[in-house]
């Protein structure tokens, strides 16, 4: 499967990526990450503070949170030794999705020597794809020679572990994009099955299908105010289903109420007890300026390098077990594909 970024299904074209992440694992083999509240993604040892490094800002509990994205990935995006089946992080994936123009004129997604940014991509969402539709036959991708900088994701990453004390499954997700241009929103599909789409030219249908319990996380944030909202939705009703807050939609009405199963706020302002939160490198609390990344990225103003301007870095976390516990219904045992927008 191609690990590439494609666009958010909905209004304008966005790009999103498919990451294969297994959330299963032996509880006995996992290291303890719990500090205070087993149900709070913000109280665990992973920093949700608006940057990728283990440097500590002013976020509550930051001093006790000793891991960040640069703990999980090397400069080339490969996993560090911290990620292994025995934990503490049982799975993690990093995907680069920006290209550079090589000496031959080709657009390369692996070259680390060229400083010329390439705007072409073969996994951009086609018009008409919506989150309320099933993956097949509802979603399409297309080749785009000039992806809009505001919606262009440079890198995306995710990590998971199961808390050995509570048995709760936690997923962290993040991305950095190309341009700061006013208000933004992002989305992440957590799929139990697989899905993919690559189109060298024209439009191509996605492969894959939804399963009951697939989760969509969407968040809004502003250029200067951080994350204003984050919500999680659940797919229900099988191949012909919809986004619904209930475990199974009402067959008489279709059950597509579109209500979230969980809502959250900015991780920097929450003191604990949260099952869902997100933040960026903007807002009133550090980190709220340019941040350094261990890995290569590209900024529309600064060019190819290792800096991300606010609010172009986004990260968040969701306690899948707690969210489904409160909403009711069966908790999925494994998510195989992560699609970030």
134-150 pLDDT per residue, tens: 888 888 888 777 676 66
Q: How far is CA 213 from CA 48, 161, 166, 192, 202, in A?
A: 25, 19, 21, 8, 32
Pick the range with the lowest mean pLDDT from 80-84, 132-136, 251-255, 322-326.
251-255
**CB-side exposure of 20: number of CA atoms within 13 Å?**
7
Which structure tokens are listed for 206?
Answer: 């996605």
Residue 60's pLDDT band, with cuts at 50, 70 and 90, is low
Instruction: Give 127: exposed, middle or buried? Use CB within 10 Å, 0-12, 13-18, 19+.
Output: exposed
pLDDT tens figures, 227-266: 888 999 998 877 777 787 777 666 555 566 778 999 998 8
Q: Which pLDDT score is estimated for 15?
A: 42
The DSSP symbol for 89 reads B
The top-scoring range by mean pLDDT among 143-157, 200-214, 251-265, 299-313 is: 299-313
Spatial strand order of the sheet with 117-118 comes to 107-108, 99-101, 117-118
Q: Which residue has the tokens 């789409």?
A: 197
Instruction: Write the DSSP string, 216-229.
Output: EEEEEEETTTEEEE
Q: Which residue has the tokens 């505001």?
A: 150
User: For residues 17 and 124, is the Cβ–Cβ distance under 8 A?
Assistant: no
Pick from 280, 264, 277, 150: which is nearest to 221 by CA?
280
Cα-Cα-Cα-Cα torsion 265, 266, 269, 271, nearest 10 degrees, comes to: 60
3-state helix, strand, coil in the chain (%, to 5): 10, 40, 50
Is residue 71's pLDDT more than 90? yes
> How far apart are the C-alpha atoms of 128 and 210, rounded to whole Å?
18
The top-scoring range by mean pLDDT among 21-25, 74-78, 139-143 is: 74-78
- Give the list of residues 6+ apart from residue 180 with CB closer than 8 angstroms, or none: 223, 309, 310, 311, 312
Pick from 318, 23, 308, 273: which is nearest to 173 by CA?
318
- Section 39-65 average pLDDT: 78
Say if strands 169-177 and 242-244 run parallel, antiparallel, or are unpaired: unpaired
**CA torsion sign, 61 to 167 to 21 to 132?**
negative
Q: Which residue has the tokens 């960026």?
A: 280
User: For residues 8 and 341, is the Cβ–Cβ distance under 8 A?
Assistant: yes
């Amino acid at each position: 499967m191609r690990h590439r970024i494609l666009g958010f299904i909905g209004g304008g074209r966005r790009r999103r990526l498919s990451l294969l992440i297994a959330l299963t694992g032996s509880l006995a083999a996992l290291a303890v990450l719990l500090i205070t509240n087993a149900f709070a993604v913000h109280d665990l040892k992973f920093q949700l503070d608006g940057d990728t490094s283990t440097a500590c800002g002013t976020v509550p509990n930051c001093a006790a949170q000793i891991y960040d994205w640069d703990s999980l990935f090397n400069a080339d995006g490969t996993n560090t030794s911290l990620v292994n089946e025995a934990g503490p992080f049982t799975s993690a994936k990093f995907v680069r999705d920006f290209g550079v123009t090589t000496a031959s004129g080709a657009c390369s997604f692996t070259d680390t020597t060229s400083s010329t940014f390439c705007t072409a991509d073969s996994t951009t969402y086609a018009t008409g794809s919506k989150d309320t539709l099933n993956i097949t036959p509802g979603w399409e991708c297309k080749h785009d020679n000039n992806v809009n900088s505001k919606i262009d994701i440079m890198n995306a990453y995710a990590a998971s572990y199961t808390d050995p004390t509570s048995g709760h499954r936690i997923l962290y997700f993040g991305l950095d994009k190309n341009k700061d241009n006013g208000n933004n929103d992002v989305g992440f599909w957590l799929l139990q099955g697989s899905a993919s789409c690559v189109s060298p030219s024209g439009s191509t249908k996605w492969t894959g299908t939804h399963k009951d319990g697939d989760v969509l996380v969407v968040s809004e944030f502003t250029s200067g105010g951080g994350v204003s909202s984050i919500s999680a939705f659940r797919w229900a009703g099988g191949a012909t289903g919809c986004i619904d807050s209930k475990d199974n939609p009402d067959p008489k009405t279709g059950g597509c109420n579109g209500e979230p199963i969980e809502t959250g706020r900015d991780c920097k302002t929450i003191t604990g007890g949260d099952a869902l939160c997100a933040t960026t490198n903007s807002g009133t609390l550090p980190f709220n300026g340019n941040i350094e990344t261990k890995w290569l990225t590209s900024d529309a103003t600064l060019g190819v390098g290792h800096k991300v301007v606010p609010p172009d870095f986004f990260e968040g976390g969701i306690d899948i077990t707690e969210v489904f516990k409160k909403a009711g219904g069966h908790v999925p045992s494994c998510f195989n594909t992560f699609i970030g927008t």
